[in-house]
């Protein structure tokens, strides 16, 4: 108890600090909920969280969604770090907003991924909570109930995830749902590009949904099937968005366009596409001014040809090799009754880190 209240007080002080430093990063400061301990959002309450005035208002009107907002943010941050764990940019976060540092405003495809995954995380967490019957404002998808095909031996049943409410909330909370970014005319601005990528993230939840069925009938004969629509696990959404990130498209910033008007091509942008303004740096060397950590000291894989391979990850600078002793439980045997007896096995492994 003692420890807990102390932790909360420290968080409050931190939050005060955050709020006073807020104006610059206000709209995305809620992402801080993704790096702070679970349950912190509820303990601090709407008034003490680093939210924009509009988000605070929404939070006050729908306080029951606060745990889901935090769940969604944590889910998204963890997924970003998992998807990028082998890359030079590894989605590292700071404990203060903007938690993604310079990357949140650099206008690169990394920025695009962050906005998409955070918006998707919110849809996922809110929808999950709807499906579990925790909310009065939403529930399972009732539109399907009663439907199906008797001839083909299946019908809708169980709880189909109803993503509309979560999608609505994610738009309202993150974008204010003011304009429809994918239909903005005449190009993107820093604001509408973030909205576009957030929307692409929400669309990813829709795109990765699937239908699950369960069989009924004598001894699993599957004479009758009950089916329901379900969201994909968030890892699947993460890898879908990672593919989108790899195929993301550069667009021009309308607010900075001055003289080269004729050169601008106005190719329509698909609402599922991730888009960015600026080419990414190579993330090789530390650059404090731009908040780039560099890859020195990162662990690499000497035999991998992928991004985690020493050659690519270390940008050709070479690597150091250390021998690490690894102690494991091994040759475990069950001893009657009732415990497991193991030996301790030691192995020496090479570990490589970038110079
Ligand atoms: C990312 O890499 C840096 C070193 O460049 C390391 O300090 C940090 O822990 C890594 N972050 C994650 C989330 O893996
Ligand atoms: C729904 O409520 C139950 C009981 O309060 C809780 O254990 C569970 O984590 C909640 N689920 C979600 C997704 O919020
Ligand atoms: C934005 O426009 C697209 C295409 O017209 C439409 O499919 C989508 O539902 C719209 N989104 C919102 C938030 O109105
Ligand atoms: C290194 O990469 C190789 C080839 O991709 C893989 O088989 C191996 O498991 C990796 N080693 C580690 C320690 O990740």
152-192 pLDDT tens trace: 888 888 889 999 999 999 999 998 755 555 555 567 888 88
User: Would you say residue 6 lies in a domain?
Assistant: no
Q: What is the pLDDT of residues 3-19, one digit of tens each?
A: 333 334 444 444 444 44
Q: Please indicate, yes or no, whether residues 130 and 251 belong to a single structural domain of this protein.
A: yes
Q: Do 186 and 221 share a structural domain?
A: yes
Other beta carbons less than 10 A from residue 234's beta carbon: 22
Structure tokens at 229: 């629509």
Judge if 250 and 335 occupy the same domain: no
Domain count, the chain: 2
Least confident of 73-87, 254-268, 323-337: 254-268
For residues 272 and 336, membership in a common domain is answered with: no
Residues 232 and 337 placed together within one structural domain of the fold: no
User: CB of 29 within 8 A of CB of 97?
Assistant: yes
Q: How many Cα atoms occupy the beta-carbon half-sphere of 314 within 13 Å?
A: 21
* Predicted local distance difference test score (pLDDT) of residue 265: 54
Is 299 found in the same domain as 231?
no
Among 5, 19, 13, 28, residue whose Cα is nearest residue 49: 19
Ligand 3: does its nearest atom lie under 6 Å from the Cβ of 278? no
Who contacts 152 (Cβ-Cβ below 8 Å, separation ≥6)?
A: none
- 300 in the same domain as 276: no
Atom of ligand 2 nearest to the CA of 134: 1
Q: Is residue 272 part of a domain?
A: yes
pTM (two decimals): 0.84
For residue 184, the model assigns a pLDDT of 55
Asked if residue 19 is part of any domain, the answer here is no
Q: Domain for residue 2, yes or no? A: no
Examine the domain organization and report whether 283 and 134 are in the same domain.
Answer: yes
| Integer angstrom CA distances of residue 215 from 93, 143, 158 | 45, 22, 12
For 354, phi then psi, to 5°, come to -65, 140
Cα torsion for 115, 116, 121, 124, to the nearest 10°? 150
**Is the per-residue pLDDT at 264 higher than 80?**
no
Q: Is the CB of 278 under 6 A from ligand 2?
A: no
Helix orientation angle between 109-131 and 190-207, rounded to the nearest 10 degrees: 50
Residue 213 and residue 84 share a domain: yes
3-state class of 177 per DSSP? coil
What pLDDT is stored for residue 238 in this prediction? Answer: 98
Structure tokens at 344: 């301790």
The finding on whether 298 has its CB within 6 A of some atom of ligand 1 is yes
Is the sign of the CA dihedral 16, 18, 21, 22 positive or negative? negative
Question: Do the domain assignments include residue 32?
Answer: yes
Q: So what's the pLDDT on residue 32?
A: 92
Look up the domain containing 151 and give its range: 25-258+268-288
Task: Residue 343: give its domain's CATH number.
Answer: 3.30.2460.20
- CA–CA dist 203, 116 (Å, integer): 9
* Same domain, yes or no: 58 and 192: yes
Residue 153 Ramachandran class (φ > 0 left, ψ -120 to 50 alpha, else beta): left
Token pair 């959002």 is found at: 41
Q: Which residue's C-alpha comes closest to atom 13 of ligand 2? A: 129
Spatial separation of the C-alpha atoms in residues 96 and 81, rounded to whole Å: 17
Quote the pLDDT of residue 345.
93
Q: Ligand 4 center to residue 226 CA distance, Å?
A: 42
Same domain, 281 and 299: no
For residues 176 and 224, membership in a common domain is answered with yes
14 belongs to a structural domain? no
142 assigned to some structural domain: yes
Please tell me what DSSP assigns to residue 287. Answer: B
Beta bridge partners of 319: 354
Ligand nearest to C-alpha 180: 3
Q: Which atom of ligand 1 is nearest to the CA of 93?
A: 13
Q: Which residue has the higher pLDDT, 337 or 35?
A: 35
Task: Indicate whether 1 belongs to any domain.
Answer: no
């Amino acid at each position: 108890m003692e420890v807990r209240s102390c932790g909360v007080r420290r968080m409050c002080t931190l939050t005060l600090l955050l709020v006073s430093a807020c104006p610059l990063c206000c709209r995305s400061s809620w992402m801080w909920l993704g790096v702070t301990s679970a349950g912190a959002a509820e303990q601090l309450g709407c008034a003490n969280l680093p939210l924009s005035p509009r988000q605070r208002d929404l939070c006050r009107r729908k306080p029951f969604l606060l745990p889901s907002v935090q769940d969604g943010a944590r889910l998204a941050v963890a997924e970003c770090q998992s998807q990028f764990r082998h890359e030079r940019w590894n989605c590292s976060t700071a404990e203060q907003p903007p938690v993604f540092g310079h990357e949140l405003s650099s206008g690169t495809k990394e920025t695009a991924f962050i906005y998409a995954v955070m918006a998707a995380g919110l849809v996922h967490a809110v929808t999950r909570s709807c499906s579990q019957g925790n909310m009065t404002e939403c529930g399972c998808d009732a539109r399907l109930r009663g439907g199906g095909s008797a001839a083909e031996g299946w019908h809708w049943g169980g709880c189909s995830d109803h993503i509309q409410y979560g999608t609505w909330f994610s738009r309202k909370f993150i974008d204010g749902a003011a304009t429809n970014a994918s239909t903005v005319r005449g190009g993107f601005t820093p604001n509408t590009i973030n909205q576009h990528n957030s929307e692409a993230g929400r669309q990813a939840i829709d795109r990765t949904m699937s239908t699950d069925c369960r069989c009924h009938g004598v001894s699993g004969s599957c004479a009758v099937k009950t089916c329901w629509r379900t969201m994909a696990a968030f890892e699947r959404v993460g890898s879908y968005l990672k593919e989108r990130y790899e195929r993301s498209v550069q667009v021009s910033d309308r607010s900075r366009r001055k003289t080269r008007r004729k050169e601008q091509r106005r190719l329509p942008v698909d609402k599922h596409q991730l888009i960015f303004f600026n080419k990414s740096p190579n993330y090789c060397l530390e650059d404090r001014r731009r908040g780039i950590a560099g890859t020195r000291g990162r662990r690499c894989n000497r035999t991998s040809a992928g991004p985690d391979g020493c050659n690519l990850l270390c940008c050709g600078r070479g690597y150091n090799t250390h021998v690490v002793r690894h102690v494991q439980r091994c040759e475990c045997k069950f001893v009657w009754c009732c415990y497991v007896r193991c030996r301790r096995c030691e192995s020496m492994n090479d570990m490589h880190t970038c110079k």
